Structure 1
């Protein structure tokens, strides 16, 4: 069954998107010779007086709109007073730029807003921030040596991002579950486990309404393709683990 979106006479359709271009697929109907529509992006007209009249009626016309990459608010305005504008589709061309701003050996406290790491790592206009912290906190020598401290730090980081990076969607990841002796807490080397960090982060995100991803739970067989995600220290992600993490990032971004 054919489906379409009809913008009624003198009405408009509004939507938001992230990217640098989209295409409007529409029909031209044999009703109003003066029937046109406008496209307005972020309050600025970018396409005006586009006719949606033709005799005989025809389908499959397209108007491509290109803008600077970013988050945009769009209005499609039907100027006709007698006939609906029939939209067949809106095609979103998604372009994604990924910046890897991770630093080996840093703990969550080093990313708090009082330092230069956070503000420098997340540029204005960024749409998502994938945050995976907690592994290096497990061997921190300063008190409190508790997984709740990691959660407090990450909460502060996300709160700063939401206040200072308009439109951003932070996503908190749990750290990878370590293996064997590298996962054991309560020793002079590691004061708590990666599993405990994951639970603390998940509880904090549930309480605050932040997006949370349990890294190990979300990994799929295809992400790893039979390879070991951990480095030789049984603690940090190795090359295969970073590739799996990228595939997971891509899957989440593609889903919305």
Structure 2
């Protein structure tokens, strides 16, 4: 089952190629082709300050695959809410989940028009399962939770895997990221899981200043990339039961089967963890 394709019919009309966007910059770091010169210039500027940024991006994507595999295979999760989806690439959440449980159902959420323009690639569900895409902002959790396409796709009386992978560092403290996560979790039943990866400056020899995240399609600032500490990261899991091995570098969380040696914590500078609502 696949939900109807979301509007507008021409999302490219909202795309401003003259300013960098986080999703397109991430696509560039992953070696994708869905980016523009502004994104490449911005990505290169980041790499000048943090030369292993591409390693970090790849490891973050591998963490997503491992986390979804754990939820689908070991925790029995059959529903996923993936917010901050990004441009489709290999091993999207529904592909990983449905390779294990074909009946898995996934709702993707992003507010970048170029992700919307590529959303058809996220709506290629298995016949037994379902996918949907919402053009919405993490900072408006109630709109996400009340969206009719979410309600048609997910049963919020049953456990959900809430995926917030490499998105919360774009939400400054003024936008109450902890409150946003709490409101999303409050709407989900016991047995649901929270998956988070987040940039940190804890392992850097010289702290980086907050970097502009680019501009949204309407020209408004997207905020700053906030490099939160381990304690600040762990706070997102308040009231949850951390899944072993707890808070780790994104390259180290359940990565025993990944190619060795693993990148160091300093090379990726991202925390990762999974928590279970009890």
Query: Under a length normalisation based on structure 2, what TM-score does the superposition of the two structures give?
Result: 0.33
Q: Which has the higher contact order (CA 8 A, sep 6+)?
A: 2
- Of Structure 1 and Structure 2, the greater helix share is in 2
- Of Structure 1 and Structure 2, the greater strand share is in 1
